[in-house]
Amino acid sequence: MIKAIVNGKATFAINKDVTLTCNNQEVDWSAAKLPTGDYSIIMDGHSYQAQVLGIDKDTKTVVLQINQQQYEVAIEEPIDQLLASMGIKDALAKKINDIKAPMPGLVLKVLVTPGQAIRKGDPVLILEAMKMENVFKAGSDAIVKEIKVTERTAVEKGEVLIVLE
């Protein structure tokens, strides 16, 4: 389930298993991209024209204009919701030199090697926590200085996993 918060107020729980649901109600919709780059959306028998005004991947925010009205939509994926429930909402968003475990877990796979150059968004490590696999990505361009953990080892919250330069 993805949570979408519109204009910092209205919250929608969106699920796409077999059918699309919003707040546990099935939604009948279709969308098509127009030659102008806008989108034509038909939802529950109503027609809308939407334009993407901006996307901020770091804050997971999209600014849309739908039928001449502007909306800012913040997206919370399952990992964001899990971290928020644990009181560490911004753990993955902070720019830090070291990659630390935001929660206790098991290192499944280390995806980088010492001396490797990585770019912002590159996956660096997979940590299993609370029966979920969490892929940790580089917060900025960096060089892997040191890897402090090995695969199949348990780690504690706050433990340094990878040191970056």
CATH number, domain of 149, equals 2.40.50.100
| pLDDT category of residue 144 using cuts at 50, 70 and 90 | very high
Same domain, 146 and 112: yes
| pLDDT tens sequence across 101-114 | 888 999 999 999 99
Per-residue pLDDT at 50: 94
Q: Are residues 121 and 61 in the same domain?
A: no
Tokens of 100: 């630390």
pLDDT at 96: 53
Q: What is the pLDDT of residue 59?
A: 79
pLDDT at 94: 46
Domain membership flag for residue 81? no
Average pLDDT over residues 111-132: 91
- Residue 43 sits in a domain of what CATH number? 2.40.128
Q: For residue 143, what are the domain limits? A: 95-164
- pLDDT tier at 90 (50, 70, 90 boundaries)? low
- Asked, for residue 82, whether it belongs to a domain, the answer is no
Q: How many domains does the chain have?
A: 2
Residues 51 and 112 occupy one common structural domain: no
| 12 and 49 housed in the same domain | yes
Which of 41, 76, 111 lies at the terminal end of a domain, its last residue? 76
**Is 89 inside any structural domain?**
no
Question: Is residue 102 in some structural domain?
Answer: yes
Question: Are residues 105 and 68 both part of a single domain?
Answer: no
Average pLDDT over residues 157-164: 92
Residue 63 Cα distances to 3, 17, 59, 66, 125, angstroms: 16, 25, 12, 10, 31
What is the reported pLDDT for 142?
87
Same domain, 72 and 99: no
| Number of other CB atoms surrounding residue 80 within 10 Å | 19
Asked if residue 51 is part of any domain, the answer here is yes
Residue 95 scores a pLDDT above 60? no
* Mean pLDDT value of segment 70-79: 89
Percent of the chain with pLDDT over 70: 95
Are 102 and 72 part of one and the same domain? no
Query: From CA 55, how far away is CA 131, in angstroms rounded?
Result: 31
Task: Kindly state whether residues 112 and 147 are assigned to the same domain.
Answer: yes
> Do 21 and 69 fall within a single domain?
yes
Residue 76, pLDDT score = 86
Residue 89: which pLDDT band, with cuts at 50, 70 and 90? Answer: low
d(CA 61, CA 52): 11
Residue type, 49: Q
